[in-house]
């Protein structure tokens, strides 16, 4: 996980409220590539969780944020 964050594949990773799971924000990858990476996350790899991948098409964002997608 740390490597993917350092490589800016994931911009953030963390827990959801009330122990409802976790979230990752991935950029620069298509859905198949994200799926392959998520399958390597220990919780998914050992079938502790069932990942759900949701794509977002941003229409508005804070200035400078778009440069993270380049």
Q: Give residue-wise pLDDT tens across range 17-27.
A: 988 888 888 88
pLDDT value of position 70: 67
Q: What is the pLDDT of residues 11-70, one digit of tens each?
A: 888 888 988 888 888 888 899 999 998 898 888 899 988 899 998 888 888 888 878 776
Nearest-10 Cα torsion for 24, 25, 27, 30: 60
pLDDT value of position 4: 80
Per the listing, tokens 């508005």 go with 60
pLDDT value of position 8: 83
For the chain, strand residue ranges (E) read 10-15, 22-26
Query: Between vectors from CA 53 to CA 17 and to CA 18, what angle results, nearest 5°?
Result: 10
Mean pLDDT value of segment 2-16: 86
Contact 11, 27 (CB under 8 A): yes
């Amino acid at each position: 996980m740390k490597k993917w964050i350092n490589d800016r594949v994931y911009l953030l990773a963390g827990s959801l409220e009330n122990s409802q799971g976790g979230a990752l924000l991935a950029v620069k990858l298509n859905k198949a590539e994200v799926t392959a990476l998520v399958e390597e996350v220990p919780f998914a790899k050992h079938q502790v969780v069932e990942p759900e991948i949701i794509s977002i098409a941003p229409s508005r964002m804070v200035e400078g944020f778009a440069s993270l997608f380049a």
